[in-house]
Chains A and B, each alone.
Chain A
């Protein structure tokens, strides 16, 4: 057996698994999406039907907001945690990464405990203003939940990237007269850009597709995974739910590809 055919033989199991568990179901999903009364036009309905379109925009806005706020919070916290040593630092880092272990259901439960009808925030606002502030069962509660489980993932990536930053670059910029803000803008943030794209992509994709938290909070939140669930299980509308699934995948993939090429081109454009 030649070396080459040996390598091909070793790749065979991977090939079989890819075909059986990835390509075939994907193909089936695409076909199912076109089996509705509208045929392949069913895919267009995802964009043209007002309810679907509104849900789609809602989901993208929610995921984008989650990503941006997560990046801002995680960058500031990650930079501070990586650059400073203080008593209790290890405990704090461990606590920040603790939510990694929770499934979406638990995160949803915690949001209800915080901002639900019997929640802490409601109690507090009731005592202060005589009115209960309840937002757990809305897209705001979902936003809070997604932040809660995106931050740990992003913070770890950012901390690793900050650790690899060459302090000399910052010192060089300072020696040339750069203020602390200018150092961040011209040196630190550009150097962290790849970490932002990588961790931001994970946060975005998770927020686009997560289901458990939304399902725990309420069944009428307008996000795509919930819509797919209701179309599929309640309305038994297989074609539409398949079309929505494919749409969700494509849109997430497209936005991630866009972010990646954008970050690549800004790095190039700066040069």
Chain B
């Protein structure tokens, strides 16, 4: 695909912090390497510093003194955004209302002095790539949210950027459209192979799109890893609870078992601990017969969700446990059941988390 710009540039940010004019710290000094062609997702709740980090990489914010941004090893810290050759998609899309769809997509090429014919063919290529054929002459206010999102993406990619930066590009859309566009966006990013940095607060977006995910909290990086790593092996209570649903259990440990009100649960690993904070994902808990099970509890409620059913089980642990059981399991509220959890599914977290 000619749209691919040879995989784009690698990015390194070195000790980049950001203190705002009013003295608040938006970002603690952070260092991060993003490989050529990689899709990196910055994930976190609002105010965690993810957008600030994106804007520093874009060149829209200057890092505090000492911070450095490098593209392909070249220091671009003092290079303004218009000279960084980055494609950017904004949450509001920021499409130019005084231009047609085609003029929006071709704007970056026009600024670069690309000849009219070449520009038109490049625009046509992107219109096809982003599935907006037939809308070229529309005005921006005649487009739906999903169409705007595609135009914004086409415009950002048209200039063959070394790095593509996306700031919550799907947040403004409704849920069904968001899911569909997420899949489309994923395929497109893989096709283009541009180095991509994607900011979102939506963990399922982060999981699906990210080669690696950076979970952020209060201006610092909480964990960096592959989506599976982040999901199954969170390094803190914050990450465990932010990504998906999680049961957090604090209990004493005896001979490699959590000692719980409803029984004993093997944890594997370090048997010398006296107590532990553990995380168990709801879908890793199996519902079995109460007889002979090492850990038992009482079902408080069952909510049928369709593809699964969510049960709240009390009396097994100090707090009620959330269990995601297959939709075929027959169990009613009030019933006493056994809980089967493989030791590997119990993830120990650092106690202070």
Contact = CB atoms under 8 A, between A and B. Distances in A.
Interface of A: 166, 168-169, 171-179, 182, 186-187, 190-191, 267, 270-271
B273 interface: no
B329 interface: no
A219 B81 CA distance: 58
A190 B88 CA distance: 22
B232 interface: no
Nearest to B98: A190
A171 B54 CA distance: 13
B97 A171 contact: no
A211 B312 CA distance: 82
Contacts of A169: 94, 96
A164 to B, nearest CB: 12
Contact of A174 (B82, B103, B139): B82
B274 interface: no
B147 interface: no
B60 interface: yes
Among A166, A169, A173, A176: residue with most chain B CB under 10 A: A176
Contacts of A187: 96, 98
Nearest to B152: A172
A179 B108 CA distance: 11
7 contacts: A168-B92, A169-B96, A171-B88, A175-B86, A175-B88, A177-B112, A191-B98
A89 to B, nearest CB: 15
B159 interface: yes
Interface of B: 58, 60, 80-83, 85-88, 90, 92, 94-100, 103, 107-108, 111-112, 137, 139, 155-156, 159, 165
Contacts of A267: 98
B112 A168 contact: no
A171 B81 contact: yes
Given A171-B81, A175-B58, A179-B82, 15 more contacts: A166-B92, A169-B94, A171-B60, A171-B88, A172-B88, A172-B155, A175-B82, A175-B86, A175-B165, A176-B108, A177-B82, A186-B96, A190-B98, A271-B98, A271-B99
A174 B84 CA distance: 10
A176 B59 CA distance: 12
A182 B111 CA distance: 8
A175 B81 contact: yes
A265 to B, nearest CB: 12
A243 B296 CA distance: 100
A191 B95 CA distance: 12
B200 to A, nearest CB: 17
Instruction: Give the 6 A-B residue pairs with the shortest CB-CB distance, closest first.
Output: A176-B108, A168-B94, A172-B94, A190-B98, A175-B88, A177-B111
B107 A174 contact: no
A175 B158 CA distance: 12
A186 B90 contact: no
Nearest to A266: B98
Among A173, A267, A270, A271: residue with most chain B CB under 10 A: A271
A178 B112 CA distance: 8
A174 B98 contact: no
A182 B112 CA distance: 11
Given A168-B90, A182-B111, A271-B139, A173 B156 contact: no
A172 B95 CA distance: 8
A190 B85 CA distance: 25
A177 B108 contact: yes
B90 A176 contact: no
A186 to B, nearest CB: 7
A119 B183 CA distance: 74
A165 to B, nearest CB: 11
A267 B98 CA distance: 6
A267 to B, nearest CB: 6
